[in-house]
Amino acid sequence: MKSPQHKNKTPKSRSDPQQQQKSNSLAVTVFRNAPDYYSCDPLIPLSTAYLKDQNVDSNLHSDAKPIKNSHGKFFGEKHLRQCPGLDPSSEAYAEKLEVKLHGTLEPRRSPRLSSSNGNENMEINASQVKRTSKVVHQKKKNTKVISTYIELSNSPVEQHMCGIDDTKYLIRSSEAITSPSWTENGRTTSNSFALPESDDRPPRKKFNTSTSSTKECIDSENFPSFIGDPIPDDEAQKRWGWRYELKDKKCKDNMFKINEGEEDEIIANVKCHYAQAEIGNCIFSLGDCAFVKGEGEEKHVGKIIEFFQTTDGQNYFRVQWFYRIQDTVVQDEGGFHDKRRVFYSAIMNDNLIDCIMGKANVTHITPRVGLKLASISSSDFYYDMEYCVDYSTFRNIPTDASTVTESQPCSELNKTELALLDLYSGCGGMSTGLCLGAKTASVNLVTRWAVDSDRSAGESLKLNHSDTHVRNESAEDFLELLKAWEKLCKRYNVSSTERKLPFRSNSSGAKKRGNSEVHDISDGELEVSKLVDICFGDPNETGKRGLYLKVHWKGYSASEDTWEPIKSLSKCKESMQDFVRKGMKSNILPLPGEVDVICGGPPCQGISGYNRFRNCASPLDDERNRQIVIFMDMVKFLKPRYVLMENVVDILRFDKGSLGRYALSRLVHMNYQARLGIIAAGCYGLPQFRLRVFLWGAHPSEVIPQFPLPTHDVIVRYWPPPEFERNVVAYDEEQPRELEKATVIQDAISDLPAVMNTETRDEMPYQNPPETEFQRYIRSTKYEMTGSKSNGTTEKRPLLYDHRPYFLFEDDYLRVCQIPKRKGANFRDLPGVIVGADNVVRRHPTENPLLPSGKPLVPEYCFTFEHGKSKRPFARLWWDENLPTALTFPSCHNQVVLHPEQDRVLTIREFARLQGFPDYYRFYGTVKERYCQIGNAVAVPVSRALGYALGLACRKLNGNEPLVTLPSKFSHSNYLQLSKCVFGNTSNEVNSRQFRALDAEATPGSIGQDSRVEDSTQLQTCYNNQPGNTD
């Protein structure tokens, strides 16, 4: 067998971004279509769903002779184990074989790899086999998509020992080996089969395996061979029916190997199966784990699934591979992981038994957060998770017990609400959307704490979420505060303490009032009335960092409260105990285990594409990127149930994606499940593209959330790094979908009243009724969005807030007034500009109009920006376009931010609508600060869709697929509209029990393409019948 050859070819994108940018008004569906090349990165395999040429070479010689080797040594590539290929029971395998099967179509939870097209030309007897796999065949260009089901068996227990006399054939090795245990039903108690969409291959980088605890079984005098009689034909066909069906089909064409010479080569001319093989002095049985010869000196680890002999007398085994951490997407960022830890996979392929080098002890353990390595037995390797390349997924190994047949809310959901901590919260875009989305899945998620160093952003969040504890401090200081708070809670959470009068010296800085009401203390001392707050840092700006408490002095006003170091309050034990107890009761700070969800977007200034001073070689060495480390340290300390991290796509681009790989590695190292996706905001009904990375994390006791599939077409602006193209959350090419048309600028802002460049009002009435579905949705009241009585049932239609633009000074305003009001207009339309054949602008040699200030009408930076090729300075948006990304400041000097028909930049409210903030959401601070808050926020429709997926996961209603379909009209329907469509409920408060009752009637297959709230016909009809909801 040939060892895998990693081919480096120039990546070909699914579609040419340049062509798309030339026609920005063209709405296209974002879909996943792996390029027809081997990625230069070893972690992104050649997707069999998109092979350029899937024709199988039929000119194979049927009289091929078996390889003879009298020694147990390995010479040449043909003796190397093949890199993990494809499981014949998986879709991807059948894709490459072009197997088109008769069968009954069944619904899929996620439509990512499904199709209604079912061309069939081959029958499979499903009654003889056990396991169900979904077969999908796709090609990139002029091919058909076929989806059906085929019953296959790949369970190692089903593959051996039945009907065989153990006393006759079983020869025990003197070396004990630990393998996964199997039940009498032929199912493993420690693993199951991976995501059906797995189509991965391991990379070329591997650690050299230590053999200190493993015996090398190969003896040069003993040629590897099978022992005992073959497994009876009827039993073999029951266990490996797919292989015999393949034999019957391919051997008629005189083809004995499928995809010969490739990493997923399949042997078709099987003659018989065996239960055991003798290699050297060792006996290998089905289900044993073994070291397998790799490239060079490498040894890979896998589990033996089959022993079979071909019609030409060659002996093969089928192996199911384990990944080491560096074999996964993590790559070099996994150096701090335990070298003994491997990851289960469903990747299998066929190899000559000469490749087996020795037995390996591989133990399955239950994943636990905080697991100490000392508690793991001294095995060669252990595994507790499964790895799949699609969406870089690390997850619990599925078992029969994990299959949910009805709504089973976990014990945690018995709580009134789930607590969320929003780190780097900004004005609250991520947490607001998560809570709104979770509500639609009948989960009451509440933002209990929020942390951000930007004071104005914190005030905006507090303005809209009055019950949230908002802290204005850095994440580093907040983490230190939490650690100190935990110690205080343990110290003072006692029944009684020694009572002492709390005094402090007047030298601390507090000023005594002239007419003090305190008479029982000596002069120069003040009495502590109570402690009112706590922080870590340097609130007095003295250069002394530490733990401080805010003291309210007896006889003084609150304005005279001071921050005091905790050491100076050593005599105030009673006040301290009272403060700690009240703080614990009111949850002013979270303790480990009290946070259900942590979300946040660590600042990305160090890697943002708009930062010209990035450290592209070593991003983690840049202090501006250290917040990803702090974020993961926070997760480690608080141990939440779920984690959601957001960041710019550049974390997957610079330094070979080391920041993204590091974040994923930290979660997995903490034994959290993880899944990474790239989401375009425009796919959820927004008029901006905005591509962002999202990383889910889930405690081992939970179900990892899925990513929501798009609801809208989108105008594509740019693409992610080719290496992570299969992490884009989208439909596969040619996959059936029902998407709404792309949302454009007109859909979002055409109803807003006209304002001038000089507008200063922070609120005004609406002048026009909503004109589009988006506008009706974005005008929803807080009660309509949340369905909660606490938000008021008699709430009036709010005024229009923050509809004022950034003021342009006279020179820029005069320039804007001369920009034509048509599509594509920009500074190039001004007099005095010449555009050359090379698309470079130059100043006219004689014509140079001036402004009243004496400055040129066309400023010099227009000619130098992007070497004179840019069209962005003083450019107008147009009604049928979208915005690439809403930034933090509407500069008309280098961005396309001019209103289509008014001489001004887009207003704060127009920016907020582009980010999906409801109109009731208000912002605090200066005009520039409000723009910045909105630009830094996570688009609310994206976080809302993720919140829906989180709600399903919290209630263990999601499936094993990485993607889930959102309810119809989800992106532009508020909570009350969705709930009324499902239940016909007209009461003010929607009873969440109705959701659970409906869930209990749903089958597992309904969570996805046929989800319980996803009856497209019912929801569409109901929605259109509501007043004002017809276009």
List residues with catalytic annotation.
604
Do strands 341-352 and 315-324 pair parallel, antiparallel, or not at all (unpaired)?
antiparallel
Number of Cα atoms under 13 Å in the Cβ half of residue 190: 20
3-class state of residue 333 by DSSP = helix
Q: Which amino acid is at 693?
A: V
| Closest among 513, 485, 654 to 576, alpha carbons compared | 485
| Closest among 292, 311, 312, 316 to 303, alpha carbons compared | 292
Phi, psi of 247 (to 5 degrees): -60, -45
| Closest among 418, 433, 60 to 251, alpha carbons compared | 60
| Closest among 945, 687, 734 to 31, alpha carbons compared | 734
Q: Which tokens in the block code for residue 668?
A: 């997995």
Q: Which amino acid is at 655?
A: D
Rounded Cα distance, 470 and 458, in Å: 6
Do strands 257-258 and 266-267 pair parallel, antiparallel, or not at all (unpaired)?
antiparallel
- Say which residues have a Cβ less than 8 Å from residue 625's Cβ, sequence separation at least 6: 602, 604, 606, 607, 615, 619, 659
Q: Which tokens in the block code for residue 242?
A: 């797919």
- Say which residues have a Cβ less than 8 Å from residue 971's Cβ, sequence separation at least 6: 684, 685, 711, 712, 740, 777, 941, 945
> For the purposes of burial, counting CB atoms within 10 Å of the CB of 768, is it exposed (0-12), middle (13-18) or buried (19 or more)?
exposed
3-class state of residue 469 by DSSP = strand
Produce one character per residue of 624-642: b if its CB has 16 or more CB atoms within 10 Å, e if not.
bbbbbbbbbebbbbbbbbb
Q: How many residues does the chain have?
A: 1031
Q: What residues are paired with 395 via a beta bridge?
A: 386
Rounded Cα distance, 929 and 313, in Å: 76
Q: Which amino acid is at 761?
A: R
In the chain the first and final C-alpha atoms are separated, in Å, by: 63
Helix (H) or strand (E) holding 242, with range, is helix 241-251
Do strands 445-452 and 763-764 pair parallel, antiparallel, or not at all (unpaired)?
unpaired
Rounded Cα distance, 565 and 538, in Å: 9
- Provide the 10 A C-beta neighbour count for residue 996: 17
Rounded Cα distance, 577 and 104, in Å: 68
Cα dist from 804 to 374, 758, 829, 873, whole Å: 62, 8, 27, 21
Helices (H), 377-474: 429-440, 455-464
* Backbone region of residue 337 per phi and psi (left: phi > 0; alpha: psi in -120 to 50; beta: other values): beta
Rounded Cα distance, 255 and 821, in Å: 67
Helices (H), 90-227: 91-97, 166-169
Which residue carries 């997850």 as its tokens?
Answer: 395
Q: Which tokens in the block code for residue 891?
A: 């500069």
Rounded CA Rg of the chain: 32
- Provide the 10 A C-beta neighbour count for residue 584: 17
Phi, psi of 557 (to 5 degrees): -80, 165
Q: Which tokens in the block code for residue 413?
A: 């959901």
- Provide the 10 A C-beta neighbour count for residue 555: 15
